[in-house]
Amino acid sequence: MKKTLAIATALTTAFLTFSLAQNASALTNVQSDNGLNFDVQDITDEDDGGINDGGNDAFDDFGMIRIQVSDGNGILTNDQELNGFGLTFDGGRRFNTTTPVTVSGINVTRSLFTPAGTNYMRYIDTFTNTSNSALNLLVAWGGDLGSDGITTVAATASGDLTIGTNDTWALTIEDDGGLFNPAGPATDPPVGYVVGNNSILSSIGDYDSNPFVNSWPGNGNEDLAFVYNLSLQAGQSTSLAYFLYRGLQENNTGPLGQQPTTGQEIALAQTVLANLAQNPNFSDLTPQQRGMIANFTTPAATVPEPASTLGLLAVGAIGATSALKRKNKQN
């Protein structure tokens, strides 16, 4: 009996050890200029390219894509979140697809890049129509924000506090006071989005409630999505690019000893986002790659990001982190 119990205990321990090892490898961290990590979901069933937390609860999984595919006869695939890209980390600052995902004749690859000296992740998603007929594609880029039910629009490119299809960038914060005050303080890191300057941005959707049908209700909802409308002829390829910015909590000590006060990180984020929208960082891409990006009409060279509150510091990649918190929302 004791021998049987010992064997069972050993098997249980081995299983738990294996499970923890699997979870520990489900994320890969890349450090930003401000000292926080972009923890990319790039392994196992979470291989979707989303950012799990981003440091200080900036995200609760953000940066994924959902798609809807249609042809002349109707919808072929409706509101499907994509994963299984076989994202491979180069050991530096890039992630690339090794196993493209194909849904209803649309082949999809993802590329992620966080340049040194910055606090943003650049996504480029490429879609190829492998069918013999024209297809229409709706793409929702977004996910779940760590700001939860106190998500607050702090700024937009158009100058108002409503994120719309006319905005090339937008900024949200967590207002822990529950007043939805755009001036802050940002009690989670401010999160910014640079989404392009072309008219193919068709709506702002609710990521977790069919973003192709349901609009994002605004303040108080953390499930934000930017929805694009693409038409692809047989054999045609096109790309979408988006930039995801993440700053520091205000009135808290940052990972490098920063002491940002109320409004300081919000103002910095607006400057960075406006610069990126005007001069998106595509300097590492070939002319052909830049020309495939459908949601930017003027793909340009890089413009240096303004220094963080502690100044630009050397950064580097570090290894895998611990367990997933998929949809484990917390403040």
pLDDT in tens, 206-243: 999 999 999 999 999 999 999 999 999 999 999 999 99
What is d(CA 326, CA 331) in angstroms, rounded to the nearest whole number?
A: 14
**Model confidence, pTM:** 0.85
Which residues, other chains included, contact 212 with Cβ-Cβ below 8 Å and sequence gap of 6+? 66, 68, 78, 79, 138, 140, 203, 205, 227
Q: Is the pLDDT of residue 1 over 70?
A: no
Cα 59 to chain centroid, rounded: 9
Q: Which of these CATH numbers, 2.30.110, 2.70.98, 2.40.50, 3.40.1050, describes 2-318?
A: 2.70.98
Give me the pLDDT at residue 46, please: 84
Average pLDDT, the chain: 86
DSSP helix/strand/coil, 94: strand
Q: Is there a cis peptide before residue 115, judged by omega within 30 degrees of 0?
A: no
The domain segmentation of the chain, as residue ranges, is 2-318
Closest CA to 205 of 193, 221, 183, 192: 221
pLDDT per residue as tens digits for the range 66-110: 999 999 999 999 999 999 999 999 999 999 999 999 999 999 999
Q: What is the DSSP letter of 276?
A: H
What is d(CA 151, CA 58) in angstroms, rounded to the nearest whole number?
A: 11
What is d(CA 139, CA 163) in angstroms, rounded to the nearest whole number?
A: 17
Give me the pLDDT at residue 192, please: 98
